[in-house]
Amino acid sequence: MKQLLIILILLQTFTVFAQNEDLIKYANPLIGTHKMGHTYPGATVPFGMVQLSPETDTLPYEVNGRYNPSVYKYCAGYQYDDPTIVGFAHTHFSGTGHSDLGDFLVMPTVGELQMNPGTEDDPKSGFRSAFSHDNEHAEPNYYQVMLEDDQINAELTTSNRVGFHQYTFPKSSDAHIILDMMYGIYNYDDKNVWTFIRVENDTMVTGFRQTHGWARTRTMYFAMTFSKPFKQYGTSDYSKKQVYKGFWRKFDQANNFPDIAGEQIRMHFDFDTEEGEKIKIKFALSPVSTANAVENLNTEIPHWDFEKAKKDGQQLWQKEFEKINVTTGSEEEMVNFYTAMYHTFLGPTTYMDVNGQYKGLDQNVHQADGFTNYTTFSLWDTYRALHPFFNVIQPTRNADMVQSMLAHYDQSVHKMLPVWSHHANENWCMIGYHSVSVIADAVMKDNIDFDANKALDACVATANYRKYDGIGYYLDMGYVPEDKNSSSVSKTLEYAYDDFCIAQMAKKLGRDDVYKEFSKRAENWKNVYDASIGYMRPKLSDGTFRKDFDLLSTHGQGYIEGNAWNYSLYVPQDPATMIEMMGGKKQFVKHLDSLFTMDLPDEFFAHTEDITREGIIGNYVHGNEPAHHAAYLYNWTDQPWKTQDKIRMILKKQYQAAPDGLGGNDDCGQMSAWYIFSSLGFYPVAPGSDQYAFGSPAIKTATLHLENGKTFEIEAVNQSDKNVYVKKIELNGKAIDRRYLTHSEITNGGKLTFYMSSRPKK
Amino acid sequence: MKQLLIILILLQTFTVFAQNEDLIKYANPLIGTHKMGHTYPGATVPFGMVQLSPETDTLPYEVNGRYNPSVYKYCAGYQYDDPTIVGFAHTHFSGTGHSDLGDFLVMPTVGELQMNPGTEDDPKSGFRSAFSHDNEHAEPNYYQVMLEDDQINAELTTSNRVGFHQYTFPKSSDAHIILDMMYGIYNYDDKNVWTFIRVENDTMVTGFRQTHGWARTRTMYFAMTFSKPFKQYGTSDYSKKQVYKGFWRKFDQANNFPDIAGEQIRMHFDFDTEEGEKIKIKFALSPVSTANAVENLNTEIPHWDFEKAKKDGQQLWQKEFEKINVTTGSEEEMVNFYTAMYHTFLGPTTYMDVNGQYKGLDQNVHQADGFTNYTTFSLWDTYRALHPFFNVIQPTRNADMVQSMLAHYDQSVHKMLPVWSHHANENWCMIGYHSVSVIADAVMKDNIDFDANKALDACVATANYRKYDGIGYYLDMGYVPEDKNSSSVSKTLEYAYDDFCIAQMAKKLGRDDVYKEFSKRAENWKNVYDASIGYMRPKLSDGTFRKDFDLLSTHGQGYIEGNAWNYSLYVPQDPATMIEMMGGKKQFVKHLDSLFTMDLPDEFFAHTEDITREGIIGNYVHGNEPAHHAAYLYNWTDQPWKTQDKIRMILKKQYQAAPDGLGGNDDCGQMSAWYIFSSLGFYPVAPGSDQYAFGSPAIKTATLHLENGKTFEIEAVNQSDKNVYVKKIELNGKAIDRRYLTHSEITNGGKLTFYMSSRPKK
C-alpha cells in the first residue's frame, strides 16, 4: 500500500493522549477511495445534504444496451488511481455497491471554451483536467486539488445544504465555469428525465435535475450564486428527446438566454480573471424547490468567507469526533479510528430544507414535525452495527432516523418501512425488512422519541406484506422456497432474525399476541437447516432440500453476497441453539476455525462481489456483511479467546490508513461502525437485544461522551499488538465474567477495564 | 350545414322573452366542434380547471420526424365527423390553433382486455369504440354518448377541479376502466416526460403526468376514485426510455402492483358488472400535488350523486348566462348568443387548488393571496374583445386575471408579462405584448383590484425587453426591420398599439414620463406605412421598404395570420390619422368596400391559416383576428352605415348554430366575444380606451346585470334581418349623435335604445 506514506506525511502533527485535541487531522477522506472502498474524498459536514466531491470519470451505466461493469468502481464518483478530474458534483453516496446521484457537476476552465468532458487519455480534448496527488489535499469538510491543465486551484467546503467552491484562476480573458447538468453517477440510459434552469441575474442561477435510475422518480433543486458577475453565459443542449421549438425560435437560446429546459443540458459562465483571482460559488440544494434552495443558501452561508465556512463545518466534525476520545498505540490506529468515525457520520444524510420541508416517498411535500428528516437508508448493511452505534453515540439523530423511516412508512403505498431508500424513493436493494431491526434496537435501548406502538404496527405491517420478496411463501410455509424466489436461504434467515426483533419490541411494549406470533416466526431459520450436511440449504416448495448445492459459491445457491459457509452462521438471535443444531460447541469451533483458515482457489475470489482479495480471510468474507458477527460466535463456545484474536486480526487486515485501505465497500458506514465497536472491545451481535458481545479492544483508552451527560470510559490495560487476549474484565472496578456488556451499563456511565495478555485465557 | 337540423331538434323547448328562464338549453357545446372551430363538446363549469371531453383520435404530432398536419384539427381532441371515440380526457383548450393537454384519458370497455387504442378503421382492434351522433348529447357541464362497440353509456359532468364520469355497463365479468397516461393532444415526440402512479387502495389512484411540448415543463397531478372497488388491476409499460429495473424485479409489476412510474404507461382496472350497473369515477386535478388533488376531490364533490354534480355545475352556468338576458328574433340567434357566452366563459381557466396553492412560472408552488389564479392566456386573440367583455360582465374575474398575469410577471425570469401562457409555462405563441392591453383596459375602465403602478412598471419592463422578438430593433429604429425579424409589419403595428395602451394607463396614473415616451412609441406604425402604395409594408434595416411584396399573400410578406389588405388597417389607437394617411375618408371607404367584396382566387384560401373558406368574406378574414375591428372603421368615415350592414353580415355568415358553424378557431373565446359585443350593438375597437364603437345590434333586447348591482338595458326597436341600419340612438331617453358609447355609460346603468331601419341614415 504505497499510498500509506503519503497519508502519514500529510499528518503534520501528532500527539498521543491529548484530550480535546484537534481530531480533524486524524480523519482522512482519501481512505477508501481506491479500489473497493467506494468512499468519496470531497467535502461534507456530518450527515450533510451536500457531498461536494471530485469526479474522475463519466462512464455510462450501459454500453450498447448492456451493463458496463466499469461503472462499478465509480459508485462514489472518484477512484484514487485515475489521472483526471472532470468536475465537482454535489451529491454522493459513501461506500455503496450500487449507485446514483452525482448531481450538478461544476468545472472551472480557461482558454478556448470546451463543452464536452473530453477523455481520460486526452483530458485537454475537453473540460476535464489532469491532476496529481502531489497537489491534492483532503480533510473533513475541505478538499483541494490543482487542476493542472489550466493551472486552476480548486477548493471545496460545505455547510449542511450548501456547497462552497473556491477556484483560483490564472490571468485570463477567457475563464469559464462549466455547469454540467448531464453528468451523473451510474448514468443509466443517460438517466436525466428533465432539466430546468433559470439565470436569475448575473450572479444567480436556479433550477432542477430530474432523473430516473436507482431512485426512479427523483428531483434535486438548486440555487447557485457566483462571487463575481459573469460577463456572459451560454447553453448547449444535447437532448435526445426532441423538445418543442415553436415560438421559442424568437430567441437565441444558446447565448445569454435565461430560460432553459431540456433533457441534456450543459452551461458555461464566462469571466475575465486576474492572476490569482478567486471566483467563488455557493451552490445550495433542496429536495423541494428552487425557492427552498435559495432560502437554504441565504440561511446557511450568508457570506463569502470560504475560510469561515470551512472552519464552521470542521467545528461540527470536531464536535462529533469529541464524542469518543481515544488513545491508541499508533498514529495509524488514530487515523483508522477517526476515519471510521468520519465514515459513520457521513449518513444517513439530511433530507429537509431549513424550513422543515422535504419531499416524501409519495412525491408530496411534507413538513417534518419535530424531527430532522434523513434519507439514504442502506438498511441491509447498516442495521448491523451503524444504527446500534448511533444508539450509543447519536441517540437523538437515531431517533430522528426512526421518525424518518416511520414517515416513509406513512407515505408508502405499500405501507412498508424502507428497505433501501434514498431521496424520496425506495430502490428495494438487497433483502430483508431490516427497518424493524433498527426500530427494535432503538426501542430496546430506550431511545424512543417516537410513537413506539405505531412503530410496532409499522413493523408488523411490513413483515406481513405478502407481495414483497417471498413473504407470502414465508408466511404460508415458514421459509422462502428457492424454486419460487431466489436467495431464499438468505431471505429466510434474515426474515427470522427480523421477526425476533419484532418479538422483542412487542414483549417490551406488552403486545403479547405480536410477541407470540413473531417469536414463533423467529425460529423459521430452522426450516432451512439441513442437518444431513450441517449447513443452511435452499429448500424447495415441495419441502425437500435442493439437491444441487455448492457450499462455496455465492451465486445461485440460495444466498446473496455470501456463501453457505458464511451465511449458515446467520442466526444472531439464537447462536446457542444454532450451535447445538450444528453439532455442538466443539464441532462448531472446528467449523469456525476452518472458516478463517481455509485456503480457497483464486476462482472463488473472482466471483465474490463488492470486495477485494484482501476483503477475505480464509473463507471469511469481511468485505460483505452477512458474517460480520461470525468472529464473535466463539463467545458462545468454550473458546471465546478465538473471538479475541480473530477480531484483532480482522481490524489489522481489513482497515488500513491508505486510499486502498478498506477491503470492501464501506457500505454507508457499516464497515466503519464494525471497526469502532470492535476497537472498543464489544459488538452488537443481535441488534434488538440489549447485549454487546465482548471481543478484544484495540484502543488503549476511550472516553465516550454520551448525550445524557454521562461518560463511559474504557481502558485496555497492557493492550498491544501482541497482547490481544482478555484476561479479565471489570465494570466500575468489579469483575464480570459474562461475555457481554448491556446497553444500560454504557448509558449509566462508568468504566470498563480490560486486562490484556499475550496468552489466551483458556 | 346539415347538422343544423339535429341541433334544433335537441332544443326541446323554446320560449322567447322569458327572463330568468332556463338559458342552459341555448348553449350548445357541439357548436364549433366540426372543422375549424376547435371547440370541445365535453363537460366543464365556467372557468373550470377540468375540461372533461371525448377524444376522437390519437394522432402523433410528428410522423417520421416531420410535423403531421393532420393533428391540427385535433387541437381540442374531438372532430364532429369522426366515427370513433378513444376515451375521455380531462384538459382541453377551447378554440386554439395550436395545442397541448389531453391529460388522463379514461375509457370503459367490456370483454377481452385491450390495452391499445386501436384504429379508427377498426375500433374493435383496441379499446376505442364507434359512436353515433344519434346517441350523443351535449349541454353545458354534461356530455353523454353511447359507446357502441361495448354498449356502454358514458356520461360526464364536472365541478371546477373534478371530472365526474358515469358509465352504465352491460352485464359482464370482464368489465374494464382503462387509464391511458400516454394519450395527449399534440403528442409531440410522445411528449410524456414522466409518469408516476400510486394505487392507494381498491378505489383510489393518484399520480402525475409530466410533459414537454407547447408547455415545456408541465406537470398535472390527479386523484381518481371509483364508486366501486375494482377486483384487480394492472399496468402496461410502453416506455422507450429504459427505466432501471434492479431490485424492482422482486415484484410482479404488471399485476396488482400499486407503485408505478415510467415514461409511457397505461393501466386497467377490472370489474364485474350487472346489467345496467353504473360505475362512477371522480377524477380531480391539481397543478401542485396529489395531496392537493385529493383535497380538491374531497372538497368539491364529497358525494357520489352524478345528477347533483351535473345540476350544481349547470347552476353555475345559468348564473353566468343570466348576466345578460337577451331576446332575439330567432331560436338560432338565441343559441348563437348563449353558445357565444358559453365559449367566452370557458377560459382563462382556474389554475389554483381549493387551498389557494398553484404552480408558478418559476415551477415553485405559490399561494394566491387575495385572488383566483387563472391560466391559459391566449393574449394575441383575447385582448381584442374577450378581456374587454370581461371588464363589462366579469370585472372581478378580469381583475383576478390581471393579478394572475402580474404573478406571472413576478415569477418570470425575463420579467415579462405573459405572451401566451398556460399551465405554469410561457409558450411565446404569436406576437406582441398584449398583456399591456388587457391591463390598460382594466385600468382605464376602473377595474383596478391590483396595484396599478406596479402593473404599469410590469408593462414598461415587458415593452422594453430587448431580447424579445425584435423589440431591440424596435426601440432603436422605431420599427422592426423585416431582414432582422420576420412578420415585422405585424409586430411593429401591434407594438405601437400596445404602446398606446401603456401611454393611456400612464396618463391616468399621472406618470407623465411614461406617458410621453409611450405616446411617441404609439406612432411607430407610421414608420411602416408606404405612402407610395397606400399599405403597411415590410421595411428593411437600411430604412428602405422591401421591393418584393405581395398584398394578398399571408406568408413571408411581413405579416402573420393576415395579409396587407387586412393588417394594414391595424391602427386601432388612431384610425383617423391612419385614414388621413391612406388618402382620406373617401378613398378609405373605397378601400374598405373592396376588402369586403373582392373576388379572390381559390389559391388564396389554400394558404390562409386556421380558417375555412367560409371564414372569409371577400378578402376580409374574420376567422383570424387582425381585422376584427375593420368593419367598425367605417365609423371614422362619412359612411358609418356600412359598419352596420357589414357587422350584421358577418354575424350571419360567420356564426351558425351547427357543429361547423364557426368559420375559424374560436381562439379561447375571442371570436365569441366579438359575436356578443357586435350583437349588442357596439365593439371595443381600441381596448385601453374607454370607448366602444357603435355597430348594429342583432338582439331585440338585452339586459346586462352588472356586478356593481346596476343594470344596463339595450333595446333595438324595430330590429330585423332587414332593419339593420341605425336611425337613432338614445341613451336614457336622450339622443346621442356620437358614434361611440363609453364604458362608464354602461357601468352607470341605464338604457340604450337603438331605433332601427331598413335604410341607411346617410
Ranges A14-23, A278-287, B655-664: which has the least confidence: A14-23
Distance CA B124, CA A443 (A): 60
Q: Best residue in B363, B427, B428 to probe A by mutation, most A CBs within 10 Å? A: B363
Q: How distant, in Å, are the alpha carbons of B690, B708, B740, B751 from that of B732? A: 19, 18, 15, 5
Whether the CA torsion B115, B120, B121, B124 is positive or negative: it is positive
Q: Quick one: pLDDT at residue A608? A: 62
8 Å CB contact of B251 and A289: no
CB within 8 A of A57, min separation 6: which ones?
A74, A79, A82, A84, A86, A120
Rounded average pLDDT over B593-617: 75
What average pLDDT does this structure show over B382-393?
98
Q: Out of B213, B243, B428, name the one closest to residue A250 (CB).
A: B428
In terms of CA atoms, which chain B residue is nearest residue A292?
Answer: B364
Residue A419: DSSP 8-state: S
Whether A477 has its CB under 8 Å from any CB of chain B: the answer is no
Q: Each residue of B463-502: pLDDT tens digit?
A: 999 999 999 999 999 999 999 999 999 999 999 999 999 9
Q: Looking at chain A from residue 276 to 305, which residues have their Cβ under 8 Å from any Cβ of chain B?
A: 289-291
pLDDT of A610 higher than 80: no
Query: Is any Cβ of chain B less than 8 angstroms from the Cβ of A72?
Result: no
Chain A's closest residue to B194, CA to CA, is: A193
> What is this model's ipTM?
0.95
Q: What is the mean pLDDT of residues A665-673?
A: 97
Residue A13: pLDDT over 50: no
Give the per-residue pLDDT at B1.
39
d(CA B362, CA B263): 24
Query: Is B214's CB within 8 Å of A244's CB?
Result: yes
Phi, psi for B663 (deg, rounded to 5):
-75, -10
CB contact under 8 A, A214 and B246: yes
> How sure is the predictor about A187, in pLDDT bands with cuts at 50, 70 and 90?
confident
- Tell me the per-residue pLDDT of A365-419, one tens digit each, with 9 for 90 and over: 999 999 999 999 999 999 999 999 999 999 999 999 999 999 999 999 999 999 9
In chain A, residues 364-403 whose CB comes closer than 8 Å to chain B? 364-365
Q: Give A252→chain B minimum CA distance, Å.
A: 8
pLDDT digits (tens, 9 = 90+) for A36-77: 999 999 999 999 999 999 999 888 888 887 888 899 999 999
Residue ranges of B 307-346 with Cβ closer than 8 A to chain A: none
Reply yes or no on whether the pLDDT at B258 is more than 60: yes
Question: What does the pLDDT read at residue B190?
Answer: 77
Instruction: Give the residues across from B84 on adjacent strands.
Output: B130
A216–B243 C-beta distance less than 8 A: yes
pLDDT at A11 over 60: no
In whole numbers, what is the pLDDT of chain A averaged over residues? 94
- Beta-carbon separation of A246 and B429 below 8 A: yes
Query: Measured between alpha carbons, how far is A391 from A250 in angstroms, rounded to an integer?
Result: 60
Edge to edge, what strands does the sheet with B711-717 contain?
B324-327, B701-705, B711-717, B750-757, B725-731, B734-735
Please name the member of B198, B206, B247 whose beta carbon is closest to the beta carbon of A428. Answer: B247
A508-546 tens-digit pLDDT: 999 999 999 999 999 999 999 999 999 999 999 999 999
- pLDDT bracket for residue B61 (50, 70, 90): confident
pLDDT higher than 60, residue B552: yes
Name, in order, each residue with C-beta under 8 angstroms of A413's C-beta and a sequence gap of 6 or more: A362, B198, B199, B200, B258, B259
User: Per the structure block, which three cell numbers stand in for B459?
Assistant: 408593462
Q: Which of A616, A37, A51, A23 is CA-nearest to residue A283?
A: A51
Average pLDDT over residues B267-273: 98
The average pLDDT across A298-302 equals 98
Q: How far apart are CA B539 and CA B609, in angstroms?
A: 24
Q: Do B200 and A413 touch (CB under 8 A)?
A: yes
How many CB pairs (< 8 A) connect A and B? 137
pLDDT at A383: 98
| pLDDT at residue B646, rounded to an integer | 97
> Cα(B656)–Cα(A124) distance, rounded to whole angstroms?
69
3-state DSSP assignment of residue A80: coil
Position B266 pLDDT exceeds 60: yes
What is the structure's pLDDT at A188? 67
Band (pLDDT 50/70/90 cuts) for residue B21 is: confident
Up-side HSE of residue A68: CA atoms within 13 Å toward CB? Answer: 18
The answer for B 667-726 residues in CB contact with A (under 8 A) is none
Mean pLDDT of A442-469: 97
Confidence class of residue A12 from pLDDT cuts 50, 70 and 90?
very low
Q: What is the mean pLDDT of residues B638-653?
A: 97
Mean pLDDT of A220-234: 98
State the average pLDDT over residues B254-258.
Answer: 98
Burial grade of A475 (CB within 10 A; 0-12, 13-18, 19 or more): middle
Q: Report pLDDT for B17.
A: 42
pLDDT for B11 equals 43
Q: Do B246 and A429 touch (CB under 8 A)?
A: yes
Is the pLDDT reported for residue B7 higher than 50? no
Q: Give the pLDDT score at B6.
A: 45
All three cell numbers of B710: 346596476
C-alpha dist (Å) from residue A446 to A22, A449, A684, B380, B673: 32, 9, 16, 67, 71
Residue B617: closest CA among B647, B596, B594, B593? B596
Average pLDDT over residues A587-606: 86
Averaged pLDDT of chain B: 94
pLDDT in the model for residue A5: 42
Determine the residue among A63, A201, A259, A412 to mutate to test chain B binding: the one whose Cβ has the most chain B Cβ atoms within 10 Å: A259
Contact assignment for A212 to B363 by CB distance below 8 Å? no
Report the gap between the CA of B558 and the closest CA in chain A (Å): 15
Decide if pLDDT at A7 tops 50.
no
Residues A230-254, mean pLDDT to the nearest whole number: 90
A190 — pLDDT class (breaks 50, 70, 90):
confident
- Which pLDDT belongs to residue A612? 60
Question: Which residue bears the cell 402604395?
Answer: B533
Do A239 and A265 form a contact (C-beta atoms < 8 A)?
yes
Among the ranges given (A100-114, A468-482, B180-194, B524-538), the one the predictor scored with the smallest mean pLDDT: B180-194
Taking an 8 Å cut-off on Cβ atoms, the answer to whether B194 and A194 are in contact is yes
Provide the grid cell at B214: 407547447
Whether residue B358 lies within 8 A of chain A, CB to CB, comes out as no
Return the ∠ at Cα A667 (arms to A663 and A668), rounded to 5°.
135
Decide if pLDDT at B444 tops 70: yes
Chain A contact for B21, CB < 8 A? Answer: no
Contact B262, B195 (CB under 8 A): yes
Amino acid at B365: V
**Per-residue pLDDT tens digits for A701-721:** 999 999 999 999 999 999 999
Which A residues in the span 200-229 are in contact with B, Cβ-Cβ below 8 Å?
A: 200, 206, 208, 210, 212-214, 216-217
pLDDT at A613 over 80: no
- Is pLDDT at B662 greater than 60 in this prediction? yes
Look up the pTM and report it.
0.96
Nearest CA in chain B to A208: B363
Question: Is the confidence at residue A694, as pLDDT, over 60?
Answer: yes
Share of chain A above pLDDT 90, in %: 90
Instruction: Give the CA distances from residue A455 to residues A370, A406, A568, A571, B729, in Å, rounded to whole numbers and listed in that order.
Output: 16, 7, 30, 24, 80
B427 chain-A contacts, CB cut-off 8 A:
246-247
Q: Which long-range contacts (CB under 8 A, 24 or more apart) does A712-715 make?
A: A712/A746, A712/A747, A712/A749, A712/A750, A712/A751, A712/A752, A713/A750, A713/A751, A713/A752, A714/A680, A714/A681, A714/A751, A714/A752, A714/A753, A714/A754, A715/A751, A715/A752, A715/A753, A715/A754
At residue A416, the pLDDT reads 98
What is the tens place of the pLDDT at every residue in B408-440? 999 999 999 999 999 999 999 999 999 999 999
pLDDT given at position A16: 43
User: Is there a contact between B363 and A290 if contact means CB atoms under 8 Å apart?
Assistant: yes
- Reading the block at residue A190, the C-alpha cell is 443517460
CA pseudo-torsion sign A288, A290, A292, A297: positive
Q: Is the pLDDT of residue A1 over 60?
A: no
- The mean pLDDT value for B73-99 works out to 97
pLDDT confidence of A10, banded at 50, 70, 90? very low
DSSP at B125: G
Question: Contact, A88 vs A107, CB < 8 A?
Answer: yes
